[in-house]
């Protein structure tokens, strides 16, 4: 079993009890260094906020809130796209001792209204695209001390167009801020409403200590240096990018590039022009990048690809042993052609990364690592490191984090539980739900099923609530079966459920065809339902040959519309429970 000192660096923790202390120190120590690089619309040059300017913006927001009558413990709802102002509102609220409530930009107006009501928010910062909604709040019985638009109403607005945010707090320059030592480490900092795949929204309440401890853990295990540049490509309302792409680089005084939107060309151009070295994203983004690189690679002559494939195998073998430099040097031309030459490390989280995708990037010297966490732990629990990695695993526990398996079966699989300084304070005003997930002695029950090997690497097998028990009594983890279809050119999305029959549950697949690739591979056949059905059946039959009997897909159906997903691009399984009760065809 590996010990912390075997794989975690001795980089000292950022010694802060709260974000007021962190901002005060970092905005002075790194005053003239870029913290944020951002461009929108047709902007060619980045708008740059130094650490000093970021500090000024945050303090202006904090003074504005306090001058408007808000006080420690009040709540502020933030509903907007990723942009510099999003970060300054988040941090400005935190240093005022007020609790920030970031909302998924893709949630419905009714969902946002519910969150405003549930939290009894006293301030609302919103995107220009949500102005009409903001205007309806008084008629919905919402009385706010502060309501501020932080971005233009149109994506085509000229760069630098003024918004209400730009004047907020300017008349409050005499307003004093709380002493930086007055905010307790356990003071609530953020409430993140997460429905995940269950549909029941719960407010994960995180303290200053929770988030800072998790950012420190990320720094110590991934070891970013002064020459690195992070990137915010994921929606910041979620704990994963907030901690890992916002607070982590801020804690060590390095820049972060904010991608305006998750569009291939925009992200790639920002990586190239911003000199991004640390890319933190969800597996879906890496799958799309892989598809683009793979398409270009396949255009090379077989005569060239032959020896390159040999070199790729060598690069992959070395990467598995912690040496990505060899592949990085050999395949520099591939990464340069993809405009990803600056990338030093790719971090995948928020979902399962397929081994195929991980091996693909490692074989070209990209150095990809897979991590695991949940909002209730701020979120990071474990991650592979560049020097200790197993692509089929979600890595090793991060600093100060204990992980154990509860109620393990004969195969060693049971529920993953963790204990750390990053475990949430609890669910907002929901003690019953909190007691269900945090034990009396402080262990967080993740709801994920998995096991730990002899070296301490963690393996996820599936969600406890999704477990299928076959007619033979064997446990089947849907996510494991679904992973076998990753990268399919025929099936774009697949949901494995246990379909109830008179003889027990059978493994049933709900599939969404990849019409775009079917059209490319079989022109004119993509609209032929019988042809598409036969293609999918063939794909399932071929995959079944590699699966043990109890995991084989017994039957399937075709769904023409994509599944509804949450912000992490995970299928919202609870919406599709009806497939479990479909009558036999």
pLDDT (tens place) for every residue of the chain, 585 residues total: 999 999 999 999 999 999 999 999 999 999 999 999 999 888 899 999 999 999 999 999 999 999 999 999 999 999 999 999 999 999 999 999 999 999 999 888 998 999 999 999 999 999 999 999 999 999 999 999 999 999 987 665 555 566 899 999 999 999 999 999 999 999 999 999 975 444 457 899 999 999 999 999 999 999 999 999 999 999 999 999 999 999 999 999 999 999 998 888 899 999 999 999 999 998 889 988 998 899 899 999 999 999 999 999 999 999 999 999 999 999 999 999 999 999 999 999 988 898 999 999 999 999 999 999 999 999 999 999 999 999 999 999 999 999 999 999 899 999 999 999 999 999 999 999 999 999 999 999 999 999 999 999 999 998 888 888 765 567 788 888 998 898 899 999 999 998 877 666 789 999 999 999 999 999 999 999 999 999 999 999 999 998 888 889 999 999 999 998 877 778 888 888 888 875 544
For residue 548, being part of any structural domain is answered with yes
For residue 475, being part of any structural domain is answered with yes
pLDDT of residue 196: 47
pTM of the predicted model, to two decimals? 0.86
3-class secondary structure, 232: strand
For residue 441, being part of any structural domain is answered with no
Phi, psi at residue 430, to the nearest 5°? -145, 75
pLDDT of residue 504: 67
Out of 183, 205, 224, pick the residue that ends a domain.
183
Q: Are strands 368-373 and 345-348 parallel, antiparallel or unpaired?
A: parallel
Beta-bridge partners for 556: 509
Q: Which stretches of 446-502 are DSSP H helices?
A: 478-483
Burial 252-282 (b: 16+ CB within 10 A, else e): bbbbbbbbbebeeeebbebbbbbbbbbbbbb
For residue 561, being part of any structural domain is answered with yes
For residue 222, being part of any structural domain is answered with no
For residue 189 the two structure tokens come to: 């900092």
For residue 152, being part of any structural domain is answered with yes
For residue 127, being part of any structural domain is answered with yes
For residue 358, being part of any structural domain is answered with no
**Which structural domain, as residue segments, surrounds residue 505?**
467-581
Any long-range contacts for 436-439 (C-beta under 8 Å, 24+ apart)?
437/376
pLDDT of residue 445: 97
d(CA 284, CA 573): 17
Out of 167, 183, 199, pick the residue that ends a domain.
183
How many domains does the chain fold into?
2
Out of 134, 161, 183, pick the residue that ends a domain.
183
Query: Could you tell me the CATH number of the domain that includes residue 67?
Result: 3.40.50.12780
**List of residues 6+ apart from 442 with CB closer than 8 A:** 419, 423
The alpha carbon dihedral of 233, 238, 241, 242 has a sign of positive
């Amino acid at each position: 079993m590996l010990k912390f000192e075997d794989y975690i660096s001795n980089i000292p923790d950022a010694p802060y009890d709260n974000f007021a202390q962190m901002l005060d120190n970092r905005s002075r120590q790194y005053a003239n260094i870029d913290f944020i690089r951002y461009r929108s619309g047709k902007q060619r040059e980045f708008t740059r906020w130094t650490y000093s300017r970021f500090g000024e913006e945050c303090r202006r927001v904090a003074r504005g809130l306090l001058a408007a009558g808000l006080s420690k413990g009040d709540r502020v709802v933030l509903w907007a796209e990723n942009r510099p102002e999003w970060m300054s509102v988040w941090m400005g609220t935190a240093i005022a001792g007020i609790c920030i409530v970031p909302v998924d930009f893709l949630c419905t107006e009714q969902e946002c209204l519910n969150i405003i009501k549930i939290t009894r928010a006293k301030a609302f910062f919103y995107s220009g695209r949500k102005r009409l909604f903001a205007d309806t709040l008084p008629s919905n019985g919402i009385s706010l001390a502060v309501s501020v638009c932080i971005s233009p109403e149109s994506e085509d607005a000229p760069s630098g167009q003024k918004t209400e945010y730009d004047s907020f707090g300017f008349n409050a320059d005499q307003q004093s801020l709380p002493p930086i030592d007055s905010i307790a480490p356990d003071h609530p900092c953020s409430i993140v409403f997460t429905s995940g795949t269950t549909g029941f929204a719960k407010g994960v309440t995180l303290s200053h200590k929770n988030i800072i401890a998790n950012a420190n853990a990320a720094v110590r295990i991934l070891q970013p240096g002064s020459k690195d540049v992070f990137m915010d490509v994921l929606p910041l309302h979620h704990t994963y990018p907030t901690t890992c792409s916002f607070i982590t680089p801020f804690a060590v005084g390095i820049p972060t590039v904010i991608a305006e939107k998750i569009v291939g060309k925009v992200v790639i151009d920002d990586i190239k022009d911003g000199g991004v070295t640390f890319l933190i994203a969800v597996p879906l983004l890496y799958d799309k990048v892989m598809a683009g690189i793979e398409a270009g690679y396949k255009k090379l002559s077989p005569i060239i690809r032959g020896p390159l494939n040999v070199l790729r195998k060598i690069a992959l073998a070395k990467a598995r042993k912690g040496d990505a430099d060899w592949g990085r040097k050999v395949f520099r031309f591939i990464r340069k052609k993809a405009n990803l030459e600056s990338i030093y490390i790719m971090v995948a989280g928020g979902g399962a990364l397929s081994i195929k995708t991980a091996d693909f990037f490692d074989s070209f010297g990209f150095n990809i690592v897979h991590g695991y966490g949940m909002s209730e732990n701020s979120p990071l629990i474990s991650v592979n490191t560049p020097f200790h990695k197993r692509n089929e695993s979600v890595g090793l526990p991060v600093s100060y984090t204990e992980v154990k398996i509860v109620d393990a079966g004969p195969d060693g699989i049971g529920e993953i539980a963790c204990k750390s300084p990053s475990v949430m304070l609890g669910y907002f005003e929901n003690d019953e739900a909190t007691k269900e997930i945090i034990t009396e002695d402080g262990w967080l029950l993740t709801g994920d099923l998995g096991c730990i090997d002899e070296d301490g690497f963690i393996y996820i097998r599936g969600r406890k609530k999704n477990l299928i028990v076959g007619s033979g009594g064997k446990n089947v983890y849907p996510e494991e079966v679904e992973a076998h279809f990753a990268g399919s050119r025929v099936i774009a999305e697949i949901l494995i459920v246990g379909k109830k029959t008179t003889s027990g549950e059978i493994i049933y697949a709900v599939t969404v065809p990849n019409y775009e690739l079917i059209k490319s591979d079989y022109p004119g056949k993509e609209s032929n339902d019988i042809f598409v059905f036969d293609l999918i059946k063939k794909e399932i039959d071929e995959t079944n040959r590699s699966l043990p009997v109890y995991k084989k897909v017994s039957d399937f159906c075709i769904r023409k519309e994509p599944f509804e997903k949450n912000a992490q691009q995970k299928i919202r399984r609870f919406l599709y429970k009806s497939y479990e009760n479909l009558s036999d065809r």
